[in-house]
Amino acid sequence: MQLPWRNLHFIGLGGVGMSGLGRIALEAGVSVSGSDLVPSTAAKELAGLGAQLTIGHRAGALPLHSDLVIYSSAVPEDNPERLAAAAAGIPSIRRGEFLAQIAGRYDRVIAVAGSHGKTTITAMLAHVAQAVSPASPGYLIGGSVPNHPSAAAGDGSLLICEVDESDATLTHMTCTVGIIGNMDDDHCWSVGTVDKLRAAFAEFATRSNSLVLPDCPELAEIAQTHRNPILIAESAETEVAIPGRHNRYNAVLAKSALTQLGFADSAIDSALQTFPGVDRRLCLRFQGAVTFIEDYAHHPVEVKAALEAMGDYSGRLIVVFEPHRWERVRRYGAEFATLLAAADRVYVLPTFAAWMDDTHLGGVEALVAGIGPQACLATKHWRALAAEIAEFANPGDVILSLGAGDINQLTAPLVEALAE
């Protein structure tokens, strides 16, 4: 698989999506440079593969022979490398736009959209395609997968990727088979309004030759206007080797997309039985007298799915929840409170702001009060919090951590505390 560039520069190279694109470029024989604020594991891996990595953002980090600059949507306009690129006449594009250009070099493309579950569905597709395809598929997964890189260039015959609605760059993708797993109002503040968010999904649908999507009211208009919709009943399930009914439904969507490309049902079913899941998606972190599970849920729909998956356990449920962005607390605080009230104990951490400056929208005190007396404010003193949770837990209890921010820093000390 060949790309039309010789030298690419990535601003924000350490992010999972950006580093995946960097890996694809390197495997395709392109020279890669990039920068990020911290030396993430992903960025270090790319440096080991030959990428030129700079820690910190400054104009001098940009090689002036770069053909193109790719930047994360979290990178502001006044970033010194973006300004240097503009001054040097080097074109710059967002990550999602670059992904669409990469996809155009492949014979066939499966692209996954949706407010929730994109990463898991994409990882399922990549896992199955690698297991059963005689060719070498390319893929880009927006999360870490066990014992495997999150991206690969492949041989150019097939690309499997997820597309982003948070910055509306999914509207640039053209694909053989598109998947819309669901559509909620999450990220509507990033693109302007709920109507603009829905319009972005609708535009993605028009750029998909075939479209796999749930048979549900939220997506009915898109389904009715599409030239080749493959509607999946909301009650459908396919067995997969990870917990949660939502994952059994995700597997149906993935299977339906692969059958559109000629993959055999029996081969897909067999491969799904060995799918290991995605990091921070209902991951079992500790199993002893107490069970500890970590999940990435940060929207009410995701929190509900994670809590429902805990129904297989009989002990008390202890939840540690880190809200992700104050905008979500403002919009969904009452829903979060109602869902989390079902737990026996809830530790609520300060909100993780991500890259948006919306601290003016408030804190989490009202959320804690809405959950009830079993909820309390917690701090990000990870070892102290881990010790407190481990002391509170009784044999048979289940601890569930929820959040997409830095709550994963609790995992190691809590596992250590539980082991002791």
Asked if residue 138 belongs to a domain, the reply is yes
Q: Do 79 and 213 have their domain in common?
A: no
Nearest to 380 by CA among 323, 419, 312: 323
Q: Do 163 and 248 have their domain in common?
A: yes
Q: Do 262 and 327 have their domain in common?
A: no
Please report, for the domain that includes residue 118, its CATH number. 3.40.1190.10
Token output for 120 = 């898991």
Token output for 414 = 């809590």
Residue 192: pLDDT band (50, 70, 90) is: low
Mean pLDDT score across all residues of the chain:
91
Q: Do 309 and 257 have their domain in common?
A: no
Please report, for the domain that includes residue 342, its CATH number. 3.90.190.20
Q: Do 193 and 115 have their domain in common?
A: yes
Task: Determine the average pLDDT of the residues in 70-76.
Answer: 89
CB atoms within 10 A of CB 47: 16
Distant-in-sequence, close-in-space partners of 241: CB < 8 Å, separation ≥ 6 = 272, 273, 274, 275, 276, 277
Asked if residue 1 belongs to a domain, the reply is no
Residue 190: pLDDT band (50, 70, 90) is: low
Higher pLDDT, 221 or 165: 221
Which pLDDT value is given to residue 89? 97
Please report, for the domain that includes residue 62, its CATH number. 3.40.50.720
Q: Are 321 and 348 in contact (CB under 8 A)?
A: yes
Choosing from 214, 241, 272, the residue where a domain stops is 272
How many domains are contained in the chain? 3
Token output for 256 = 């339906």
Whole domain around residue 303: which residue ranges? Answer: 283-419
Nearest to 76 by CA among 64, 96, 60, 94: 94
End-to-end CA separation in angstroms for the chain: 51
Torsion on CA atoms 24, 26, 30, 31, rounded to nearest 10: 140
Asked if residue 101 belongs to a domain, the reply is no
Asked if residue 277 belongs to a domain, the reply is no
Residue 110 has, within 13 A of its CA and on its CB side, a CA count of 32
Of 29-33, 146-150, 248-252, 348-352, where does mean pLDDT reach its minimum?
A: 146-150
What 3-state DSSP class applies to 411?
helix
Which pLDDT value is given to residue 388? 96
Tokens 């193109």, residue? 68
Q: Do 142 and 200 have their domain in common?
A: yes
Nearest to 318 by CA among 245, 246, 377, 374: 374
Asked if residue 100 belongs to a domain, the reply is no
Q: What is the pLDDT of residues 356-384, one digit of tens each?
A: 555 555 578 888 999 999 999 999 999 99
Token output for 261 = 């490309």
**What does the alpha-carbon distance between residue 237 and residue 233 come to, in Å, rounded to a whole number?**
9
Q: Do 142 and 265 have their domain in common?
A: yes
Q: What is the pLDDT of residues 90-135, one digit of tens each?
A: 999 999 999 999 999 999 999 999 988 899 999 999 999 999 988 8
> Is the pLDDT assigned to residue 204 strictly greater than 90?
yes
Q: What is the pLDDT of residues 20-57, one digit of tens each?
A: 999 999 999 999 999 998 888 888 899 999 999 999 99
Which pLDDT value is given to residue 181? 93
What 3-state DSSP class applies to 383?
helix
Q: What is the pLDDT of residues 272-330, one digit of tens each?
A: 999 988 888 888 999 999 999 999 888 898 899 899 888 878 789 999 999 988 888 88
Which pLDDT value is given to residue 40? 84
pTM for the model stands at 0.85
Task: Determine the average pLDDT of the residues in 334-340.
Answer: 93
Choosing from 95, 114, 140, the residue where a domain stops is 95
Task: Determine the average pLDDT of the residues in 65-87.
Answer: 94
Q: Do 129 and 264 have their domain in common?
A: yes
Asked if residue 74 belongs to a domain, the reply is yes
Token output for 269 = 């079913």
Asked if residue 127 belongs to a domain, the reply is yes
**What does the alpha-carbon distance between residue 53 and residue 34 come to, in Å, rounded to a whole number?**
5
Choosing from 272, 292, 316, the residue where a domain stops is 272
* Size of the chain in residues: 420
Q: Do 315 and 248 have their domain in common?
A: no
Q: Are 155 and 177 in contact (CB under 8 A)?
A: no
Q: Do 225 and 153 have their domain in common?
A: yes
Q: Do 186 and 75 have their domain in common?
A: no
Q: Do 331 and 415 have their domain in common?
A: yes
**What does the alpha-carbon distance between residue 284 and residue 225 come to, in Å, rounded to a whole number?**
42
**What does the alpha-carbon distance between residue 271 and residue 206 come to, in Å, rounded to a whole number?**
30
